[in-house]
Structure 1
């Protein structure tokens, strides 16, 4: 796994860091300000496209992503890429947005001490937000949310139906107050409604149609009355005109013969001939009377004949006018008769319905069957009886208006009652839906709580075991994480601590305990969600842990790292580096990287992690150049080995009360030599991966060889002594170094770690899953 940076935070020039994923765990050591968080932020930037540790910080309104750019570079220069298992992902900044290229099947989880504190000390609601991805069932959450929305919607609809019922009731009360006969009904609104609605809508429509028909016929009678009345004098006048014009025509005809009338056209043509020719001879009798006299005589004849013709036309016109007037009168009579017949029919139908008390029709209306009977005399009788039809017209209009009001009132009352009925029916359906919905919501809620609590119980059990491995023997019986039974999205965090039930860890535990508690909770949560594709980055998350718990915490992280794709621990905790250097912490399946001091010019720098002192001694012996370095390093390695042996076997060493114990190599030698039965019993077995002993090594000869050379360490490696000038310093130093290496390689495993575990109950053995060293005896012989 390789992370490459340029122009990112504290990195100016291109910088890359490789992580050996063949190892489960990488320890990234560096002093404060060396760039550990820069690397953590780069992981978050390239995987998640976020600003990492800046996300939860206030930058006074400045763009958080923009602040990732190195102070000496521009945003376009920023580049971060990550290679994991053959997949490459790169990230850049463009217009304050992250551009991600490349597919990466791995997710990143970063944990800093601040996040540990938040996870433990958050409010229940905020704590739930941090763990909800691990305890939620998305499909169930969606169903519960949809059902909750449905119930709320039905409750709102039910409230609307209740308002509709109230409004309809108010409307019915107002209609009752306005229209009901209080003398008849008093306060009996229901009875008034029943009486009002006893006639069906069809009956009301039929009655309405009858009154409409009756009213229409009366209106037609009224509309056609004057035209028929006018037709009688019109016919009489036309008859008088015919008589007059025919008399005038008879007189003219008597004065002139018909034959001249027949010659009218001939005379017209003759006049035209005479005017054009100027002759004075008559074209008929050949008499010579003079031209002027002849023309005048023809004109006189023509005028006389024209008068006869005109009068004849007038007589004809008056006859035609008389015929038209008579025809119009007959049409009016026929139409009026149809009105009378229809009026009688609809009147009789209305009377037969017994719905109303209607006045009778007048005799002139009742007796007519033929149109020719509608004479002027009959019409004069109808005209005289017409005022008697007014009560009928008024009654029809009054009943029509009353029926119209009743129909409108019926419609309003029936509509209000239907709305009440419909609203009550819908309300019952909604109440049923709400009841069923609440029941199903409870089932979903209980199932969600059950699933979440089972998940949290498993997580709690897991992280409790993790926590107990760090704080073994402490009176912390149980710590559990669970959902509040009634509050949604509320994660409770308590337990039995020091005999107190439902106690808050935040109140009773130290900061160091809370840090390890949060770390164990984080590990337990992350192990439940595809840990094999997860990269964990613990950014100075274990800095507050004291030295007494550091080794157990480290061993825990090493074991748990096997569940994840890779785990990176960044730390500035110097005792951690020291323990690696001396093999106090196992280096099996562990990569140790160390960051150098950061500078503005060079940015981040990476150097090899601390080699063990045994490896330094090997190098010095191999180089064979510096006697003092060989002797000094051999002394340090021997002090560590002898301190280990005298410690596990509880050898007697000199003590100075009240002072820090500083034992010399001679003190350690005396302590071991004083145990007469121990030295002969000391042996270390080397085993292969199958557990077969490949080499048993007695330690007494190796220890005696070392003891015989201890003065060389003081003379060459620690103090200035003239004695050193009397022997070969390099040869003696190499002899001491080789004797020390022989002892170290007999005791230590492949990573120069001493066998300080005794889980098998019969020997001391090395750490890790494979036992390659066994030191006997387990206890000092008595």
Structure 2
């Protein structure tokens, strides 16, 4: 079984290019598919005739190594079953950890707190509709403060780089609801940041590294589309899905234009069929079958702009014409009358003489001033200073009078111009051939109005003639509307409908080729998208089958194909297989325990695909509904996963820890217990090294085992116990020092011999002597055990229960500082 069901790293676009070349896809379809995968803009440019795209050169995947996150501790206070602050401390590296505790011990509270911190939600609480459940998330005995802290270590995916600690936290104020939490993340001891800055929102949705008993049971109870979506998302075919959606949108848009043209054609043919005009029959025949004869239709309607049709248009325009309203006319006439009265009230001739005299006096004044003369230049009479002052006053008064008179004249001219424009702007009507007497009556009224009398009679003339023009115009508009209706024959409205259809048909016809191409591209995506989906789904299917083969013990059901079928509301997951060799759908024949096992078989590959940033996998009570026969198979699956993942299993019974002890599986066992007041404590059960020591004790104590067998096998168990304890201590110290797990694993794999393992766990060089640590004087038990692990392994020896006691003391020495 591959615990990392790694999907193909080839870019989706490159895969599509390969399929296009393999299937000899027409260029028009191929480039439409590729444009749709790019963007809506590129798709519209492609169907609009833009240049086709060239295939870019393939670029090797240069994605930097991702950091895998492992959990170091979960700290909870006031949340669910945890009252005062309690912590679940884990080893942040691959390996198997089982957290046991009776129902109500608080173990699942750690799991739910972890789920909320990492994903921002809780499957269990979201699906509990009862108000009792929804209001019971805060601890009864210690509801405030209420907070969660999850410390993870991000290990670089490779031997290079340093590990980085990250704290994900949530806090609830007193009285706040479950959704009112304040959350943050702190990376490497820096400033608090939004949890979204960690970049886990999308991965948590895709790879969901947490599975609870409720979710296991609900995996096949929810809508089929939910399981489909969960599996489909991780296949990384968003480009295919988006391209199909873009093409469907454009197809609908263009298809609507074709539907409109077709609808207009059907309606037009019904009207044409009842018309008596022979031109209607010709057009109807041209529209009978595809391709419609547009040239015939255009020829028949070309005569629509006849003299008669133009007259009808002129009559309609005349009927719609309007005159200036009476208020504007009254204002213009009143303004003219007032201006004229002011003009006549001024003595025009006297003012002209005054103007002339003023000019003469101004010139004389200028001469006297500039020539410095004392006599008048005309009569040579002496001009005194008094004369000059009198002349200056006279000039000022005369100038003011001239300016006022000029303003009166300008006002009268403006009023005259307004009346002239009012009369000139009246609409001229020809309507030749209309036969309307009202036309001549209107023209005559307008002509009389435009024959303006002398200025003193203009106002009275306009006031008298304007109502006659208005009456003639009203009579004309009514007559013109009536005559337009009379002259409009049965062909004119048909022409309007034909022109409307013709325009719609031409638009739709321009897009018909594009529509056919888009439909072909959509079909290509549906057909080959399924092929790509099957290719990417296969590693998950293979992994699920492998896991099921281990979990199905004593089950007659064999798992076959797992397929994502249908689209839209019809999408579903089809699970087929066989029962006793007979092909069938598997869900209907499975027991509850088998369904839970199948849910795990599907969940685990999804949670462990290669692109997941989560190095951990949390399972809350996964074996609750399992038959005892399936526990060993499940443990085998966990062992394989634990080679590359930090696997943490919460269990309410002792079946899994018992199997671990019985099969001597390398795993960390933790026990959760609850005291009054929701005080939760976590303690380590026997470690792997202790189990090896227990095996050694059983071997040596068993009187039925021959001495030479004990002496040959016993030292090997001693060595396994010591090396296991040294490894546990070494990796713990590496984590504290910030050394990447991959680097620690690489260095550990190079060690040869128990002595080297112990040396590096103590922080020494692997070739360095253990010296005082195993001194026969100060630490005789260590010296004895190390001798059994090295010399004793090769040369045999006589082992007794005292040696086992020394082994246990040595193990406590190695693990005691943890």
User: TM-score with structure 2 length normalisation?
Assistant: 0.50
Q: Does 1:578 align with 2:674?
A: no
Q: Deviations over 1:514-558 (max 9, x none)?
A: 333321221111122533425321000123344444344223213
Distance change (3 Å), C-alpha of 1:523 and 1:199: closer
Give the distance between the partners of 1:441 and 1:739, measured in 2 at CA. 75
What SS does structure 2 have at the residue aligned with 1:58? Answer: coil
- Does the CA-based 8 Å contact 1:459-1:525 persist in structure 2? yes
1:201 equivalent in alignment to 2:305: yes
1:100 aligns to 2:164 (yes or no): no
2:88 maps to which residue?
17
Contact 1:134–1:529 (CA under 8 A) maintained in structure 2: no
Q: Which residue does the alignment assign to 1:498?
A: 580
Q: In 1, Cα distance between the equivalents of 2:793 and 2:300?
A: 118
2:552–2:597 Cα contact (<8 Å) kept: no
Instruction: Measure, in 1, the Cα distance between the counterparts of 2:506 and 2:520.
Output: 21
Matches within 5 A, 1:96-495: 96=177, 97-102=180-185, 103=195, 104=198, 107=204, 109-120=209-220, 124-172=224-272, 176=275, 199=303, 201=305, 203-204=307-308, 405-406=486-487, 411-429=492-510, 431-470=512-551, 478-484=559-565, 488-495=570-577
Q: Secondary structure at the match of 1:697?
A: helix
The answer on whether the counterparts of 1:516 and 1:545 sit within 8 Å (CA) in structure 2 is yes
- Conservation of the 8 A alpha-carbon contact between 2:258 and 2:508: yes
- For 1:10, what is the secondary structure of its paired residue? coil
Helix, strand or coil: the match of 1:517? helix
Q: Is the 8 A contact 2:699 2:714 kept in 1?
A: no
Q: Indicate conservation of the 8 Å contact 2:273/2:281, yes or no.
A: no
Which residue pairs with 2:639 in the alignment?
A: 558
Q: Is the 8 A contact 2:149 2:168 kept in 1?
A: yes
- Shift, 1:570, TM fit: 0.4
Q: Could you say what secondary structure the match of 1:544 adopts? A: coil
CA distance in 2, matches of 1:586, 1:473: 22
Rate the CA distance shift 1:2–1:199 in 2: closer, same or farther, 3 A.
Answer: closer
* Deviation of the 1:451 alpha carbon: 2.1
1:25/1:202 Cα in 2 relative to 1: closer, same or farther (>3 Å)?
same
Cα distance in structure 2, aligned partners of 1:113 and 1:93: 26
TM-score, length-scaled by structure 1 = 0.52
Q: Cα 1:25–1:437, aligned 2, differ >3 Å: closer, same or farther?
A: same
Larger Rg: 1
Once the two structures are superposed, residues 12-42 of structure 1 have per-residue CA deviations (whole angstroms, 9 ceiling, x without a partner) of: 2222222121452321111111112211110
8 Å CA contact 1:29–1:594 kept in 2: the answer is yes
Alpha carbons 1:5, 1:42 under 8 Å: kept: yes
CA distance in 2 between partners of 1:210 and 1:116 (Å): 80
Query: Aligned pair in 2 of structure 1 residues 608, 123: CA closer, same or farther (>3 Å)?
Result: same
| CA–CA separation in structure 1 for the residues paired with 2:95 and 2:487 | 92
Query: In the alignment, what sits opposite 1:69?
Result: 138
Match of 1:593 in 2: 670
Equivalent residue for 1:7, pick from 78, 84, 94: 78
Partner of residue 168, structure 2? 89
CA distance in 2, matches of 1:399, 1:120: 77
Shift of residue 200, structure 1, vs aligned partner: 5.0
Residue-by-residue CA offset, 1:604-651 (whole Å, 9 max, x unaligned)? 221222357x84998xxxxxxxxxxxxxxx8x965x4379xxxxxxxx
Distance (whole Å) between structure 2 residues aligned to residue 577 and residue 3 of structure 1: 21
Per-residue CA shift, 1:409-465, capped at 9, x if unaligned? Answer: 554222211122223334444554443332211111123212222222210112222
DSSP-derived class of the 2:571 partner: coil
Q: SS state of the match for residue 586, structure 1?
A: coil
CA RMSD of superposed structures (Å): 4.7
Relative to structure 1, the CA distance from residue 432 to residue 109 in structure 2 (aligned partners, 3 Å threshold; closer, same or farther) is same
Comparing 24-33 with 47-56, greater Cα deviation is found at: 47-56
Residue 36 of structure 1: which of 83, 101, 107 is its match? 107
- Cα distance in 1, alignment partners of residues 314 and 691 from structure 2: 124
* Post-superposition CA distance 1:702-750 (Å, at most 9, x none): 4xx6xxxxxxxxxxxxxxxxxxxxxxxxxxxxxx63155589999xxx9
Q: Residues 152 and 507 of structure 1: is their aligned pair in 2 closer, same or farther, counting only changes over 3 Å?
A: same
Distance 1:435 1:470 in 2: 50
- Indicate the SS of the match to 1:28: strand
Separation in structure 2 between the aligned mates of residue 92 and residue 210 of structure 1, nearest angstrom = 80
Q: Match for residue 699 of structure 2?
A: 641
For residues 462 and 401 of structure 1, do their structure 2 counterparts lie closer, same or farther at Cα, with a shift above 3 Å needed?
Answer: same
Q: Select the structure with the greater relative contact order (CA < 8 A; seq sep ≥ 6).
A: 2
Name the structure 2 match of 1:737: 801
Taking a change above 3 Å as real, the CA distance of residues 681 and 194 of structure 1, as seen in their structure-2 partners, is closer
Q: Residues 198 and 111 from structure 1, CA distance in 2 versus in 1: closer, same or farther, beyond 3 angstroms?
A: closer
> For 2:110 and 2:313, how far apart are their aligned partners in 1?
93
Unaligned runs of 5+ in 2: 1-71, 154-164, 186-194, 286-295, 317-429, 436-477, 724-748, 754-788
Contact 1:119 1:127 in 2 (8 A): yes
2:19 matched to which residue of 1?
none
Question: Kindly tell me: are residues 207 and 546 of structure 1, through their superposed partners in 2, closer, same or farther at Cα, counting changes over 3 Å?
Answer: closer
For residues 270 and 636 of structure 2, what CA distance do their matches in structure 1 show?
A: 79
| 1:414–1:495 distance in 2 versus 1, CA, 3 Å | same
CA distance in 1, matches of 2:309, 2:552: 93
CA distance in 2 between partners of 1:495 and 1:642 (Å)? 49
Q: CA deviation at 1:2?
A: 2.0
Q: Please tell me whether the aligned partners of residues 551 and 630 of structure 2 are also in contact (alpha carbons under 8 angstroms).
A: yes
Cα distance change of structure 1 residues 135 and 193 upon mapping to structure 2, 3 Å threshold: closer
Q: In 2, Cα distance between the equivalents of 1:408 and 1:459?
A: 74
Separation in structure 1 between the aligned mates of residue 279 and residue 544 of structure 2, nearest angstrom: 80
Separation in structure 2 between the aligned mates of residue 407 and residue 431 of structure 1, nearest angstrom: 36
Write the distance in 1 (CA, Å) between the matches of 2:125 and 2:216.
16
1:450-494 deviation line (CA, Å, top 9, x unaligned): 222222221011222233345579776543311226785221111
Q: Which runs of 5+ in 1 are unaligned?
A: 213-345, 357-396, 619-633, 644-664, 706-735, 752-782
Give 3-state SS (helix, strand or coil) of 1:9's partner: coil
Alpha-carbon distance in structure 2 between the residues aligned to 1:210 and 1:486: 59
Structure 1 residue 511 displacement after superposition: 3.9
C-alpha displacement of 1:201: 1.2
- Could you report, residue by residue, the CA deviation over 1:104-137 in whole angstroms, capped at 9, with x for unpaired residues? 4554622123322333565643321332222352
Kindly indicate whether the alpha-carbon contact (under 8 Å) linking 1:45 and 1:52 is maintained by their aligned counterparts in 2.
Answer: no
Q: Give the CA deviation at 1:595.
A: 0.2
Q: Matched residues in 1 for 2:514 and 2:603: separation? A: 42
